[in-house]
Structure 1
Amino acid sequence: MSATDLTLQCSDCGQEFVFTAMEQQYFQERGYSSPKRCKPCRQAKQNAGSYGQQDSGYSSGYSSGMSTGTTVVCASCGQTTTVPFEPRGDRPVYCKNCYKPKQGGGGGRGRGPSGGNRDRDRRRY
């Protein structure tokens, strides 16, 4: 399937920019979503990220205020929810309530189907 150039609008400056077919292929091969910013605004955001109060997209895991995210519709229940990442589009996205059952419930951690400790379960008293 051959892609054609797309004209997108920058979320920062509002200017239109061209997302070429070659750029689209590059982004798709790496699982990136389409850019929201034109090249000059992307460059400015990258340069300001480590010096200003700009959000670099990465966090230490600690929040100092309201968290930002992407608003999506849950693939399971249809509820509108916010997720802390930009969905790629090739996988379903779930709300918190629907995601937990999809994980298997017990949290995993390498335990067997019973979810317990195999050595402890084998002991007889």
Structure 2
Amino acid sequence: MKTEWLETLPEQCPPEDAELCNGSYYRIANGNPVDSADFFSQRKLQPDKVFKGSDINECVARTISLFSDRKEAERRLKLPKIRNASIALVELEPKDGMIKKTFGIAHDSWWRTIEFDVSQAKIV
């Protein structure tokens, strides 16, 4: 069965070292309750932006940032740009896509499939 990604991914994306989703994660969300737009990649939100950073390529630009540790997500809420956001608990299963640890201990990059059910994510 072919995986249907939420958005078009470049060649060799997700990378070989990404794993099937399985577990609980935290997502910084603007909606309360959350909606699908709270689970869009930076590329989908900003299609013309040039992302800078040594570890940021087009594959990573098409991921959704998640945190494996709630305290790390809460720490990010201190940033002015997302100060008024909320934190959603997300339970991911293999059908929801692929995930890889990136950018620090508690940060994960998630490649979302169309199978992900947004309604199961709850503000905590």
Whether TM-score is above 0.5 comes out as: no
More relative contact order in 1 or in 2 (CA 8 Å, sep 6+)? 2
Report the structure, 1 or 2, having the larger strand content.
2
Higher-Rg member (1/2)? 1
Q: TM-score range by the shorter chain?
A: under 0.3
Q: TM-score, normalised by structure 1?
A: 0.23
Q: TM-score, normalised by structure 2?
A: 0.23
